[in-house]
Amino acid sequence: MQSVVAIHNGVNERAWSEVLQWEKLHVTRCGGPRLKKFAGRPQDYSPKARLLNFLGYKLPFDRHDWVVDRCGKEVRYVVDFYNAAPLPGMPIAMHLDVRPALDSPSALLDRLRMQYRWMNSGRWKGQRTPRQPQPQHQPQPSS
């Protein structure tokens, strides 16, 4: 049971870390965002999960809605949990898709901003970010 609790806590920490990445778009001076409440909704698939399933991807095995207090404003996040390929030494692997729910124009703008940053970074193609210089191949002197 302790290992289940440890895994659950680790997953929640990862999800919170991703929420904080989104919240960086709204740097405030009120002490930062706080988790106000959350609810598990395992059978209620998000529109994005349903679209990806239509395109051939598997549905998430769980979904949570997290409500964050951002200086008095409630902001809802959707967290979809997907199974992932385990790595050596890690018997359990999962992918988290964390994003603001499309409840407001602000949430839509946040998602567009993050999508732009991701596309501009080149990470989706396995490239380095444009601001990082590519390593230059230096010819080795022949002996």
pLDDT in tens, 26-44: 887 788 899 999 998 988 9
Query: Which residues lie below 8 Å from residue 84, measured CB to CB, with a gap of 6+?
Result: 93, 94, 95
- Tell me the pTM: 0.78
In the predicted model, what is the mean pLDDT of residues 12-22? 92
Q: Is the dihedral of CA 30, 31, 36, 38 positive or negative?
A: positive
- Does residue 45 register a pLDDT over 70? yes
DSSP label of 76: E
